[in-house]
Chains A and B, each alone.
Chain A
Amino acid sequence: MWLVRPVGPEDLNDVLALAESREVHVSSTLPASQDLLVARLALARNSFLNADRSGSHRFLFALEDTDTGRLKGVAGIDARAGNGQPFYNYRRDALIHASHELGVSRRVDVLYPSHALTDLSQLCSFVIATGLADGDAIELLSRARVLFIADHRESFTSELIAELPGAQSADGAVPFWDSLGRHFFDMDFATADHYSATHSKTFIAELMPHNPIYVSLLSEAAREAVGQCHRLSGPTCDLLKREGLAATDYVDIFDGGPVLKAHTNRLRTLVTSHCVELHGEESNQGDLCLIAGGQGENFRCTLAPVSTSLQGAARVRPGVWQTLGLSPGDPVRIAAL
């Protein structure tokens, strides 16, 4: 059975293994370094314990296979993008350079440095074990976060963003970085990404170009990479789009990956979910649903067949309550898979 639950310091080794095994860089929000992860997991634990108070919480959820007890994925929510520091993006905008005299008009794409998304809630740190990229598990991991948001709505902002990893060529090169960031940071992408995870954002403020960038002066590969997600992030991107997040004019400053955005109250899982009372049933009837319950550190979400009644009761097998750590009569939130 798949279970999504808060990550804690005791998950260190499993999370580290996942972070190291990933094929796609995760924009540095899940560092593959033991020391950094220890701090990150402690922060996650603390965030769950204080989830009822608003602040720069950084929640981290684990996808656990309850049969083996192994972690198969991690996903996060930052309550405030930037976590108290500026959150950097480029905003793609257009200028029309037109000459009345010559009768010509040309659209010029420009990337403007922006902090506009700072402090918006952000879905982040998504990583899932190889082989689970299409199926119920990835959907559970991604959407469980929205059920958490629904149950802790006051901790999150009215708009929600998600950054997706940008384009990377087969040999690992990041064309957007090579054509832009490299000139100013004087380091390769991996190093910059590492510093971004391990240092304050001061170095970005110090090294990043302050003036807008003309897209036409980027290399062809970099131009194509603007707003394109990594080829392995397709399933994640599709899930987010089905959730109601849509592409924006914002892209990542390092790899040009897209930033998606949605109104939190219009997230599909949030809108279509129901609060019901948990009841037991011995049979495996009903539609497969996401079923979530518990506050803060006790939040759990799993997938199970649920038969609902008109009186607002959800009937599931007793094994499901136990997995969720709940008892009959407890309130839960369910959403169709």
Chain B
Amino acid sequence: MLIFRPVEMRDLDDLVTMAGSAGKGLTTLPASAELLAARINEARDSFEQRNAPEAGLFLFALEDTEANRCVGISGIQARVGLDEVFYNYRLSLSVNASRELGIHVRTPTLHLTNDMTDTTEIGSLLLDRGWRGGGNGLLLSRSRFLFLACFRRCFSGKVFAEMRGVSDGRGRSPLWDALGSKFFDMDFAEADYRSVAGNRSFIAELMPKYPIYLPMLPEAARAVVGRVHQQTEPALKMLQSEGFNFNGLVDIFDGGPVVEAFVHNIRTVRDTVKKDVLISRKPMVEEPRGSPVMICNASFRDFRVTRIPANWLRYDVVRLPPEVAQALLVESGDQVRLAPLKEGAVLPTDNNEAGHY
């Protein structure tokens, strides 16, 4: 069984291994045991409410209970830009026109902004290669939205994700080569690493502050502004199907797009329903049927998500075998939230579809 739960220090070794094999460009999860341990501590402080909720970093582990190991991670940063400055470029348009000469020129322009300050960011998603496919990635990503749905007051009304931008096999970014490298005496990977390592003040000190006129950059650089890395396209599609859209901001280093959605418009949040748990004393004899459904408990500190077959749902309750209830830390009568794992799927709403009990 795959369980989505708050990260713990015992996950550190698995995470270091995963991050090390992930390659460059995963900007919010450093492949360093020291940095990862610091992140885990921060996340523990957040779940145990030793941090102010708005300063919270919520990292979740996907645990395979049979393999007894952590096979994935994803995260939510409650607010960005609180104790550091959070930068993006806004891809905007300048139009210069001369009526007298009949000239109308459109110049795409990058403006340095801090527009995402105070907004909730989702990121840090990484799934072990051996567990990819079968909807595991969806579970790892979408479970976060159940957490958002349960504890909305801890987060901003808008949520965003920075998507990885285009770089080649050696980690070279065309935008960095044409722009960032002219101002930073370092290569893309190093700048990226330093940025992730939490020391971002160098960005403010070295970045160009005036707008950048895109036509002055080479074609290769212009072409990647607002484009995602090929490997990130599935993640982008997934977020788009949740209702996320490009908001006009791009990463200052590699030009990757920022996508955002209002929490109340996120599909998983919108489709979520509440039901009471009924722990089945008898063995569940029916074959699992229907599209898988995510189910979560209501605990902030001990949040749990897993997936169950649709035919476990009833009109007002959800029947769970004892081992699933135990994994979710729920008992009969507890309220749980449910949402379809896959887009286009709907939760069964009546007895006819779900069968009798």
Q: Give the B-binding residues of A (Cβ under 8 A).
A: 97-102, 104, 106, 108, 110, 179-180, 183-187, 195, 199, 202-203, 206-209, 211-214, 216-218
Do B216 and A101 touch (CB < 8 A)? no
Query: What are the residues of chain B within 8 A of A209 when measuring CB–CB?
Result: 94, 96, 107, 213
Do A187 and B103 touch (CB < 8 A)? yes
| B105 in complex: contacting residue of A179, A185, A214, CB < 8 Å | A185
Do B185 and A104 touch (CB < 8 A)? yes
Docked complex Cα distance between A216 and B208 (Å): 11
| B202 in complex: contacting residue of A99, A207, A208, CB < 8 Å | A99
Contacts A183-B216, A206-B98, A218-B216 known; A106 to B206 CB distance under 8 Å?
yes
Contacts A98-B205, A101-B201, A183-B213 known; A106 to B183 CB distance under 8 Å?
yes
Query: What are the residues of chain A within 8 A of B211 when measuring CB–CB?
Result: 211
Query: What are the residues of chain B within 8 A of A186 when measuring CB–CB?
Result: 103, 105
Contacts A104-B206, A179-B216, A217-B182 known; A184 to B100 CB distance under 8 Å?
no
Query: What are the residues of chain A within 8 A of B216 when measuring CB–CB?
Result: 179-180, 183, 213, 217-218
B220 at the interface (CB under 8 A from A): no
A97 (CB) vs chain B CBs: closest residue: B206
Q: Name 8 A/B residue pairs within 8 A (Cβ), A-sorted.
A: A99-B201, A99-B202, A104-B206, A110-B210, A207-B98, A214-B212, A217-B179, A217-B182
A100 (CB) vs chain B CBs: closest residue: B205
Query: What are the residues of chain A within 8 A of B97 when measuring CB–CB?
Result: 206-207
Query: What are the residues of chain A within 8 A of B96 when measuring CB–CB?
Result: 184, 206-209
Q: In whole Å, how far is A206's beta carbon from the nearest beta carbon of chain B?
A: 4
Q: In whole Å, how far is B194's beta carbon from the nearest beta carbon of chain A?
A: 8
Query: What are the residues of chain A within 8 A of B217 when measuring CB–CB?
Result: 217
Query: What are the residues of chain B within 8 A of A195 when measuring CB–CB?
Result: 101
Do B206 and A212 touch (CB < 8 A)? no
Q: In whole Å, how far is B56's beta carbon from the nearest beta carbon of chain A?
A: 26
Docked complex Cα distance between A257 and B152 (Å): 60
Docked complex Cα distance between A212 and B101 (Å): 24
Query: What are the residues of chain B within 8 A of A216 when measuring CB–CB?
Result: 182-183
B352 at the interface (CB under 8 A from A): no
Query: What are the residues of chain B within 8 A of A206 when measuring CB–CB?
Result: 96-98
A-B interface, 4 closest residue pairs, ranked by CB to CB distance from nearest: A183-B215, A99-B202, A216-B182, A99-B205
Contacts A185-B105, A202-B100, A217-B217 known; A97 to B205 CB distance under 8 Å?
yes
| Interface 1/0 per residue, B166-204 and A, CB below 8 Å | 000000000000010011010000000010000101100
Docked complex Cα distance between A212 and B211 (Å): 8
Do A214 and B182 touch (CB < 8 A)? yes
Q: In whole Å, how far is A295's beta carbon from the nearest beta carbon of chain B?
A: 40
Contacts A211-B211, A214-B210 known; A202 to B182 CB distance under 8 Å?
no
Q: In whole Å, how far is A115's beta carbon from the nearest beta carbon of chain B?
A: 18
Residues of chain B in range 87-130 having any CB-CB distance to chain A below 8 Å: 94, 96-98, 100-101, 103, 105, 107, 109
Query: What are the residues of chain B within 8 A of A98 when measuring CB–CB?
Result: 205-206
| Interface 1/0 per residue, B125-157 and A, CB below 8 Å | 000000000000000000000000000000000
Contacts A217-B216, A217-B217 known; A185 to B103 CB distance under 8 Å?
yes
Q: In whole Å, how far is B201's beta carbon from the nearest beta carbon of chain A?
A: 6
Query: What are the residues of chain A within 8 A of B100 when measuring CB–CB?
Result: 199, 202-203
Query: What are the residues of chain A within 8 A of B201 when measuring CB–CB?
Result: 99, 101
Docked complex Cα distance between A218 and B212 (Å): 12
Q: In whole Å, how far is B113's beta carbon from the nearest beta carbon of chain A?
A: 14
Contacts A97-B205, A98-B205, A102-B202 known; A217 to B212 CB distance under 8 Å?
yes
Q: In whole Å, how far is A107's beta carbon from the nearest beta carbon of chain B?
A: 11
| B210 in complex: contacting residue of A102, A184, A212, CB < 8 Å | A212
Docked complex Cα distance between A179 and B323 (Å): 68
Q: In whole Å, how far is A205's beta carbon from the nearest beta carbon of chain B?
A: 9
Docked complex Cα distance between A185 and B207 (Å): 27
Do A101 and B98 touch (CB < 8 A)? no
Q: In whole Å, how far is A213's beta carbon from the nearest beta carbon of chain B?
A: 8
B106 (CB) vs chain A CBs: closest residue: A186
Do B210 and A211 touch (CB < 8 A)? yes
Q: In whole Å, how far is A278's beta carbon from the nearest beta carbon of chain B?
A: 52
Docked complex Cα distance between A179 and B103 (Å): 19
Query: What are the residues of chain B within 8 A of A100 when measuring CB–CB?
Result: 205
Query: What are the residues of chain B within 8 A of A184 when measuring CB–CB?
Result: 96, 105, 107, 213, 215
Query: What are the residues of chain A within 8 A of B205 when measuring CB–CB?
Result: 97-101
Docked complex Cα distance between A195 and B103 (Å): 12
Query: What are the residues of chain B within 8 A of A180 when measuring CB–CB?
Result: 216
Q: In whole Å, how far is B183's beta carbon from the nearest beta carbon of chain A?
A: 6
Q: In whole Å, how far is A170's beta carbon from the nearest beta carbon of chain B?
A: 24
| Interface 1/0 per residue, B225-261 and A, CB below 8 Å | 0000000000000000000000000000000000000
A212 (CB) vs chain B CBs: closest residue: B210
Q: In whole Å, how far is A48's beta carbon from the nearest beta carbon of chain B?
A: 31
Docked complex Cα distance between A207 and B213 (Å): 13
Docked complex Cα distance between A5 and B355 (Å): 108
Docked complex Cα distance between A108 and B185 (Å): 12
